[in-house]
Amino acid sequence: MGNLPLVSKLGPVYDLLPIWLIALGFALLIFLTSEAACWAAKKNKVAPAEIPFDVALAPAFTLVALLLGFAFSMALGRYEMRGRLVIQEANSLRRLIWLTDALEPETARSLSAQLQDYVQARADFAGADAEPQRRKLARERSAGLQQQMWQVALAASKRDSGSTILPLVLSTLSEVLSVSAEQDAAFADYIPPAVVLMLVFISVLSAGLMGFRLGCQGGSGALAGGMLAFMLALILGTIIDLDQPQRGFIRVSLEPLGGLTQDAERVAAKTR
């Protein structure tokens, strides 16, 4: 299913359209499907007893509920993991900044200047959701600065093999590199498009069954279809919002990384 053209093209839609527009389009699709099915049942004058809708409706909406719960759980788990990794990276960087302050002046000067740029690069990376080019540039800048910081710390440890601070610096820097790799993977990990496509398909099918059932009874499906469309669109919008946390209303806080800027600047000013 992952190789189907429609599935492969669903991912970029997230980057091109606002979340509210995706939710609105989904709501209109649900409502129009329900209304069209209701109209078709009335036009063909299908009797309720001719088709066992009650047998099909309950499993259909049960499946919709299960898919919504599954997708929401996936999105919430990814959101929480991203927030946790931001805090973890900020803590590791703060320890590195403090340790840099205790190094000999030349090493501290080089490392603190690179740390200033690195903190900004990581904040740019975490805040670049749905902006692939910006995220790519931030990732490349981060990788370059990581290599530079590692070379500076490694050269200093060779010059001063008896230092008690440099092993801690290397250990903390290694932790920073490890956490950044985890964060890179976490911020690029979205709900598979096939899951979203399946959710939309089952929801539309269920809305059609409901509208046809209401049309068979001779009633109007506008109110029921509208309420169903609103609820499903609200939930789908929330799922996408959680899954792409820097685009909509629900965002991963980057304050832990932003607060490091002043610490890095203070240490850099002391070492000049």
**231 pLDDT band (50/70/90 cuts)?**
very high
Least trusted range by pLDDT, from 12-26, 36-50, 202-216:
36-50
Helix (H) or strand (E) holding 235: helix 222-243
pLDDT of 2 higher than 50:
no
Residue ranges of the domains in the chain?
5-76+192-243, 89-189+254-271
* pLDDT band at residue 3 using 50, 70 and 90 as cut-offs: very low
DSSP 8-class letter at 221: -
The radius of gyration computed from the CA coordinates of the chain, to the nearest angstrom, equals 26
Residue 164 and residue 172: Cα distance in Å, rounded?
Answer: 13
Give how far Cα 215 sits from Cα of 52, 161, 184, Å: 14, 83, 51
* Mean pLDDT score, 74-97: 90
pLDDT in tens, 189-204: 888 888 888 999 999 9
- For the chain, percent of residues with pLDDT exceeding 70: 86
| Tally of CB atoms within 10 A around 234 | 13
Q: Taken in order 212, 222, 197, 74, is the CA torsion positive or negative?
A: negative
Query: Which two three-digit tokens encode residue 107?
Result: 């090493």
- CA gap 165, 103 in Å, rounded: 7
What SS3 class is residue 32?
helix
- For the residues 123-137, what does the mean pLDDT come to? 78
- The pLDDT value given to residue 163: 79
Q: Helices (H) and strands (E) in the chain — how many of each?
A: 10, 0
pLDDT of 59 reads 84
For the ranges 70-79, 125-134, 185-194, 237-246, the maximum mean pLDDT occurs at 70-79
pLDDT of residue 161: 77
Of the candidate ranges 51-60, 175-184, 198-207, 224-233, the one whose mean pLDDT is the lowest: 51-60
pLDDT at 74 over 80: yes
* Residue 53, C-beta contacts closer than 8 angstroms, at least 6 positions apart: 209, 212, 213, 216
DSSP state, residue 246: T
Query: How far apart (Å, rounded) are the C-alpha atoms in residues 134 and 124?
Result: 8
CA 239 to chain CA mean position, Å: 10
Q: What is the pTM of this model?
A: 0.79
